[in-house]
Amino acid sequence: MSDQNDLAAKPGSHNRMSRRAFLISTSAVALAACAPATSTGGNPASSAAATAGKALKIGQLLPFTKVYAELGNSMKRSTDLYLKTKGNRLANRPVTVIYEDEANDPQVGLAKTQKFIDQDQVDVMLGVVATPIAYAIRNAVDSAKMIYIATNAGGNALTRTTNNCTPSCKSPYIFRSSFSSYQISEPIGEYMASTKGVKEVFTFVADYGFGTESQADFTTGFTKGGGKVTGTLKAPLGSADFVPFVTQLKSQPTKDIYSFFSGADAVKYIQAWNQLGLPAAGYKMYGAGFLTEQDVLAVVKDQANGAITSLFWAVELDNPENKSFKDAYQKEYNLLPDVFAVQAWDGMRALDEALQKTNGDTSDKAKLIAALEAVKFNSPRGAFEFDKDTHNVIQDMYIREVKTVNGQAVNTISDKIGRVTDPGK
């Protein structure tokens, strides 16, 4: 991906493709270079009549192997549960979900996306965890006029107009029910410097697209609030051993550490952090919320106590929708849900709401896009709606601290930054 400095924006308010598609770069520059095709429709009444009762095919591209496997499993569980509550029908259409493994590989992800388009002929597509894969498939879904709801990948450029790109470069077919990197990392940077009075921070992130964006967005917010980043360290995605990296953290003097890691990497990082005695040495762990999400806490338990992170949801969030979702998920799987489950749930809910407005018709792309743009509902995370300019979700960001509650490690909410939007440029 391109240098994040080329993509950074001033903070905002709180054709079906041939196999040549394999040559698409996973960088944000290549992502921005291709303008979307024009939406086409047809007679809405005849289209709706033609699809009534016909199976709705949903392609879900998720990781089921490697470092983010549990994230994919969580999203699949949530998708299956949502459909179960709806009798496996959306807008009176029976649903078939085709799951494919993105395997943390952009070329594999692109090949599976082409399979959805050419072979499976899915009606809509959801999923993708890793940002490089989302960037790699962007042009394919845009050229095919495939409605795609990203349920995790947070790379900023996916729903932005980037440098050297006209506004038409932002695909009208792409929505995001998850987050952008900016939404997670910039606000907590400002918060730490301006509200908590933290003066210096050292950053430690995963060495790939989203880790780079997280570090840059955090730095933007932290320096805006008057803070100074004293240095940064990166670890390759899927590193087998985090002890050497945490040893380097301990050998430098800045005690406040901001990080982005997720899945198995977050587990190994927290375990190494405790193994090398950083809490006793006065080091403080901050991060993007995935660092201490419930999938991680289920393994590390109280080893993450005291860590402060930012995210748009927490299992302890007090609203009726979250209670209902948490109870249903626990009953079905005997597990506490995590944010990945919420993102998949909301992606399905948004699709469901939009399909109800189109009477189940997915053939009229302009009509379905307009229906998605108008979706608003109360989610387990709080109020949910898409920004019509970016198709990125607008949402509150919560400052969370890990504590043990009733014998379980959970993220408790200590503060809130309201209605954070992505700048969109």
131-166 per-position pLDDT tens digit: 999 999 999 999 999 999 999 999 999 999 876 665
Q: Which residues pair with 170 in a beta bridge?
A: none
User: For residues 411 and 401, what is the distance between their CA atoms, to the nearest angstrom?
Assistant: 5
Q: What is the pLDDT at residue 45?
A: 52
Bigger pLDDT: 110 vs 36 = 110
Identify which of 369, 366, 359, 373 has the alpha carbon closest to the alpha carbon of residue 46: 359
Sign of CA dihedral 367, 376, 347, 135: positive
Check whether 8 has a pLDDT greater than 50.
Answer: no
Mean pLDDT for the stretch of residues 110-120: 98
Check whether 42 has a pLDDT greater than 70.
Answer: no
317-373 per-position pLDDT tens digit: 999 999 999 999 999 999 999 999 999 999 999 999 999 999 999 999 999 999 999
Q: What is the pLDDT at residue 26?
A: 38
What angle (nearest 5°) sits at the alpha carbon of residue 77, between those of residues 154 and 287? 35
168-215 per-position pLDDT tens digit: 578 999 999 999 999 999 999 999 999 999 999 999 999 999 999 999
Confidence of residue 17 (pLDDT cuts 50, 70, 90): very low
Check whether 9 has a pLDDT greater than 90.
Answer: no
Count of Cβ atoms closer than 10 Å to residue 33 Cβ: 15
**142 contacts 34 by C-beta, under 8 angstroms:** yes
Q: What is the pLDDT at residue 53?
A: 76
Tokens 């040559």 label which residue?
23
- Which backbone phi and psi does 38 adopt, to 5 degrees? -80, 135
DSSP letter at 37 equals P
Mean pLDDT for the stretch of residues 279-285: 98
- Which backbone phi and psi does 6 adopt, to 5 degrees? -75, -20
Check whether 276 has a pLDDT greater than 80.
Answer: yes
Q: What is the pLDDT at residue 119?
A: 98
Q: What is the pLDDT at residue 372?
A: 98
User: For residues 160 and 251, what is the distance between their CA atoms, to the nearest angstrom?
Assistant: 39
Check whether 4 has a pLDDT greater than 50.
Answer: no
Mean pLDDT for the stretch of residues 209-238: 97
Count of Cβ atoms closer than 10 Å to residue 80 Cβ: 16
Check whether 224 has a pLDDT greater than 60.
Answer: yes
Check whether 1 has a pLDDT greater than 80.
Answer: no
User: For residues 310 and 86, what is the distance between their CA atoms, to the nearest angstrom?
Assistant: 32
**242 contacts 30 by C-beta, under 8 angstroms:** no
The tokens describing 336, both together, are: 């506490």
**21 contacts 140 by C-beta, under 8 angstroms:** yes
Contacts of 203 (CB under 8 A, 6+ apart): 215, 218, 219, 229, 231, 232, 233, 257, 258, 259
Identify which of 406, 347, 327, 285 has the alpha carbon closest to the alpha carbon of residue 147: 347
Check whether 55 has a pLDDT greater than 60.
Answer: yes
The least confident of 1-15, 79-93, 146-160 is 1-15
Q: For the chain, what percent of residues have pLDDT higher than 70?
A: 86
**Mean pLDDT, the chain, integer:** 90
Question: Quick one: how far is CA 150 from the chain centroid?
Answer: 7
- Domains of the chain, with CATH numbers? 4-180+324-395 (3.40.50.2300), 182-316+397-420 (3.40.50.2300)
Q: What is the pLDDT at residue 178?
A: 98
